[in-house]
Every structure is written in structure tokens, then in C-alpha cells.
Amino acid sequence: MFEAILNGLGGLLAGFQSLDWRSLVMLVVGSVLLYLGIKKDCEPLLLVPIGFGCLLVNIPVADIMGKEGFLRVIYSMGVDTELYPLLIFVGIGAMTDFSPVLANPVTFLLGAAGQCGIFLTLLLALGLGFDKLDAVSIGIIGACDGPTAIYVTSKYAPHLLGAVSVAAYSYMSLVPVIQPPIMRMLTTDRERKIVMGSVAGQVSKTTRILFPLVMTVLGGLIAPKGLPLLGTIMLGNLMRESGVVARLTKASENEIANIVTLFLGLSIGATMAGGAFLNPKTLLILGLGFVAICLDTVCGVLLGKVMCFLSGGKVNPLIGAAGISAFPMSARVVQREGQKYNKKNFLLMHAMGANAGGQVGSVLAAAVMLSVLSGMGVIPH
Amino acid sequence: MEMDKVTFGITMLICGMGGTLLTLWIMSLIMGVLRKVFPYKEEKEN
């Protein structure tokens, strides 16, 4: 009987006995993510489930990511199948008003410039010795778009999913800290004070309905490998703009997006097991992610300067910084910076155009990237 | 023969960034035309 009691007590101690330093470090990392989400309000919808998933997967013996573990079931259901990021895209499309970019279509170009960081970081990652598909997944952090990063990484470099996702969401929430110094460094005082006129008129409902259709067909023909990304965001937007499926639109932007966000966050956290996450590569990925977002901002502002020159000083180059996918956070940063130098300057709607362009741009850049990879035979046709 | 990393990286930069820029430029032209063909009419929209 004494032996049975000892064995029973041994069962209660098994977790402590199997705890190694990696698990301990990751328990701290999970707690930091929870702290950032709960106390600092940094992307709480994702950081809370990611942080908690990280805690769960690093508690030994429970084997929660084992073959029959509940996190494994959630992971297989939507990450292996790539369903979660796509469902989130339907919600994003349903939530996003693309009118600002449609009112001033030239801002689509700022949305393209804001994706330069993806390709430049890919080059850097290759230079640092990462494999081709690993480098692609690291570069995609520069899309500044969580679901896009998750879609590409889960498909082509699933072993990097935890690091890439954490980098993507962390830096997205740090956009108000990362962008302003770069914007100030690249622009002159005179450029920052440029007052832009009002945004050119409103957009008809027909144009707003035609936008997702044209984008799907044109983007799909140019970059068919990325059609799932483009198609889902545009489906959500078509539902929103058509106005005839209000129930589906609401479900997409609320219930579906919320449930999927929870599952996706837990799944990402589940990839953060100490043994796999704690290696020098993770630190490199976090560093490269930071570089990617800085390069996006640099290229956006530089194109803004070109547009300023070509328009004879009518475009404030600061709006170029909003050509990334962090919507509408980046546009707000531009508005705040503009007002610091000229209280009468209202750049928000112009920046929203660039920001909406950045949202389309990030999805399109990923789609183009996948099709180029397929064309080169790096991924299957 | 497997493509070397430099060729791969430069190709991705040119085709990827070029493709993104080109597609969005075409989109901006199309949307500009659509705005002219279907202008905003206040009473109809409301």
C-alpha cells in the first residue's frame, strides 16, 4: 500500500520532474505575451490566446500538442488546412471600407511601396543563411499583416510559425513607436508641413461593388497561387458593399472572426514549445521582422517624396508611411505626425487611402510572391 | 539544377515587387476609369 501511495504521489510530481529550463523560459515568454495583451493592450485579441497557448504547450507531461491533444486537434483543423487565416480574411474584408483608396486610386501605389520590406528582408534572410522558403516566410512579416504571414508560413515553413506570427503581431502593435522616427528622418520640416486638400469626392456604390470583383479576377489571373488570400478578403468586402447579405457580413466580422481568432491564437501559441522555439533562429527572425517593417516605412515615405516632387509639392510624403497593412493604426500615426508640424493639417483621409491600399497591397504581394515561387518551381504548381 | 540563393533572391525582388507594383498600378487605372463611368450621385446613393 505504501508503494501505491508513493506511485500516486509520483504522478503528482511528474510535471515538476519533467520541467526543463526551456519550458521555464517559455512559461515566462507566455506570461510576457499575456502581460502585453492584458496590461498594455497590445493586440489583446491575439496575444491573450497566443500567450495562453504558449503556457499550455510548455507544461510537461500533459502532451497537449500530442497526437490526440486538444491543441493538436485545433491546430490540424485550421492551420494545417490553412482555413483560419482565410476565414479571418473574410472578416477583414467585411470590416474594411476601401472607399478612401478608391476615392484617390493613385494611393494604391503607396500600398505597393509599403511592401518593399517583404522582398528586401527576404534577400537579407537569404544572406543570413536561411533556406529559400524560410526566407520567404520571414520576409512576409514585412506585409505587416498577421493572417497573410500565418497563411504563407503555415504552408511553406510551419516550423517557423510561432516566431513569424509573434513577430508579425508584435511589430504591428508597435507601429506607432517604429514609424515616427523613420518618418522624421526621411522628410524635411517643409515637407512635413505640406497641407493636402480634401480627398477627391465620394465613391459610388457601383464602383465599391465592382472593386472586389475586379480585384479578384485581375489579381487571380496575375497571381493564381494567391487567389485564396485575395478571394476571401474580396468576398468579405463584396458582402459588405452589396448590402444585401447583412447577416452574413455581421457573422463574418463578428462570430466567425472571433471564433477563428481564438483558435488561431491558441494554435500559434501551441507552436511555441521550448524545444522548437528557443534557438538563435528565433532571435534572428524577430530582428529581421523589425527590419522588414522599418524598410516598408522607408520605401513608403520615399515614394511619398517622389509623388511630392512630381505633384509640385502637393503631396505630403508622410502619407507614404501609411502604405502598410496595419489599418487604421498607421494612418493615425501619419495624422498625428502631420499635426505636430502643422496644426491645420488633416492628413487622415489621405493616409487612410494609402493604408487601405497597403491592405490590398500586402495580400497582393503575398499572392504575387506565391505565383513567382510556383513559376520558378520552388513550390508545386 | 537547383537555383542559387542570389538568383532566387534577385528574381523574387524583381518579379515580386515588380508584379505587385504593376498589378496595383493597373488596379489604380481601372478604378480611376470606373469612378468616371459610375460617378457618385447623392440622391441615388442615399
Nearest to B27 among A108, A127, A205 (CB): A108
Nearest CA in chain B to A365: B20
* C-beta atoms of B27 and A203 within 8 A: no
Instruction: Name the DSSP class of A196.
Output: P
Alpha carbon A97 to its chain centroid, in Å, reads: 18
CA distance B11 to A372: 9
* ipTM value: 0.92
* Nearest by CB: B41 against A102, A204, A223: A204
Amino acid at A27: L
Q: How far apart are the first and last CA of chain B?
A: 61
pLDDT in tens, B2-39: 789 999 999 999 999 999 999 999 999 999 999 999 99
**Distances, alpha carbon A165 to alpha carbons A29, A60, A147, A319, B11, in Å:** 14, 23, 9, 27, 26
Nearest residue of A to residue B36, measured between CA atoms: A207
User: What is the pLDDT, as a whole number, of residue A198?
Assistant: 75
| Gap between the Cα atoms of A289 and A143, Å rounded | 10
Q: From the CB of residue A253, how many other CB atoms can be counted at a distance below 10 Å?
A: 20
- pLDDT recorded at residue A161: 92
Does a cis peptide bond (omega within 30 degrees of 0) precede residue A328?
yes
Q: What is the mean pLDDT of each run of 10 residues along chain A (381 residues)?
A: 88 88 94 93 88 95 90 93 94 93 92 95 96 96 92 93 89 90 96 84 92 96 93 97 96 96 93 89 94 96 96 94 91 94 89 93 95 92 77
The per-residue pLDDT for A41 is 85
Cβ of A204 and B39 within 8 Å?
Answer: yes
pLDDT the model gives residue A355: 94
pTM given for the model = 0.90
Query: Is the per-residue pLDDT at B43 higher than 60?
Result: no
Q: Which residues in B have their CB inside 8 Å of a CB on A?
A: 3, 5-6, 8-13, 15-17, 19-21, 23-32, 34-35, 38-41, 44-45
Q: Which of A123, A131, A137, A213 to mutate to test the interface with B (most CBs of B within 10 A)?
A: A123
**pLDDT at position A333:** 94
Distances (CA, A) of A143 to A84, A146, A375, B8: 18, 8, 21, 19
**Does residue B45 register a pLDDT over 90?**
no
Cα dihedral A149, A150, A156, A159 sign: positive
Q: Find how far residue A296's CA is from the centre of its chain.
A: 13
Using the Cβ of A109 and the Cβ atoms of chain B, whether some distance falls under 8 Å is answered with yes
Which of these, A172, A140, A142, lies nearest to A155 by C-alpha position? Answer: A140
Report the distance separating Cα A262 and Cα A59, nearest Å. 20
Specify the length of chain B in residues.
46
Answer yes or no: do A218 and B38 touch at CB < 8 A. Answer: no
Amino acid (one-letter) located at B26? I
The Cα A154–Cα B32 span in angstroms is 36
Q: 3-state DSSP call for residue A316?
A: coil
Pairwise CB contact (< 8 Å): A372 & B30 = no
Do the Cβ atoms of A167 and A285 come closer than 8 Å?
yes
